[in-house]
Amino acid sequence: MVQALDEFYRYQDSYEQQADYTYSNRQSVAYKCTVIIMLLIAAAFVVFMIGVAIARFMEMQIIPGLLVLLYAGIICAAFGYFAYRFYKLLLHEATFQLREDGFFYKIKNRKTLELRSFFLPFREMESVTMGRYLLLDKPSKYGRSTYFVGVDFAMKGKTDAGEWIVVHFGMKDIEEIRRWIARYQAQQIPLYFTNVALKNLTVAGYNALEKFPYLYETSNWPLTDKKIEKELPKNWDGKNPIYSDLPTK
């Protein structure tokens, strides 16, 4: 059994650390207002461009009119995608915590009011494996992009029904990574590391991972790093390891 949280990880570059061991996608009113104003400005600009294109067509300037429409379409598509991300961010209220007694998350759908929550106590946690967590840092259309490499904590344990489960949460803040490591070690949870990314990790995939005991921080396995495209770690299943396709904050 696997908790399918990757749909929420995709927007994790919009999550903020609310406190030690706690992440949430709650955004301030100022942030929401800023985004809405930006979208309104973009919409007004697109309408203006369409007006310019219509004027060119009326003057029988077909090619310039088509070019203006093309530019308007590109801008509309870009901001439409941004608006979709913003909508997805607002649609769900998600909180992830590594509490003193275990890992907890809750996800509330603001539209349907559906609430999903899960708690994996340390006493039911068999082990934790730290894999690679990749976020796009500097996109490049013609050259090689740069990616930020953090840590994805994959926690294997048993549910109340006795089923094996894997839940995981990735982050890029090195001090927070160290805090999570210290909490696992304080609870004497076996801690491992692996050089692959853990996106969409399954229980069977977790069991088959080539992993090594993690005792302390070492330069041989840095907690955070930056990589160019040709040096990216592979995902455990050979598929795309990237969680986000927008620059990280």
User: How much is the pTM?
Assistant: 0.73
Q: Give the helix/strand (H/E) hosting 45.
A: helix 29-58
pLDDT at 131 over 90: yes
pLDDT band at 129 (very low <50, low <70, confident <90, very high): very high
Task: Tell me the C-alpha distance between 236 and 196, whole Å.
Answer: 6
How much is the pLDDT for 16? 72
Residues 125, 157 contacting (CB under 8 angstroms): yes
Residue 10's closest CA among 102, 114, 81, 101? Answer: 81
Task: Tell me the C-alpha distance between 199 and 8, whole Å.
Answer: 12
Task: Tell me the C-alpha distance between 67 and 239, whole Å.
Answer: 37
Task: Tell me the C-alpha distance between 27 and 25, whole Å.
Answer: 6
Question: If you ran DSSP here, which 8-state letter would residue 14 be given?
Answer: G
pLDDT, average across residues 27-53: 76
Tokens of 156: 């294997």
Q: Give the helix/strand (H/E) hosting 80.
A: helix 62-91
pLDDT in tens, 180-230: 999 999 999 999 999 999 988 899 999 999 999 998 888 788 898 877 766
pLDDT at 9 over 80: no
Task: Tell me the C-alpha distance between 219 and 108, whole Å.
Answer: 40
Tokens of 75: 């801008």
- The label of the residue with tokens 């995902």 reads 235
Cα dihedral value 109, 42, 34, 13, nearest 10: 60
Measured between alpha carbons, how far is residue 161 from residues 98, 124, 164, 203, 207 in Å? 21, 11, 9, 16, 20
How much is the pLDDT for 230? 64
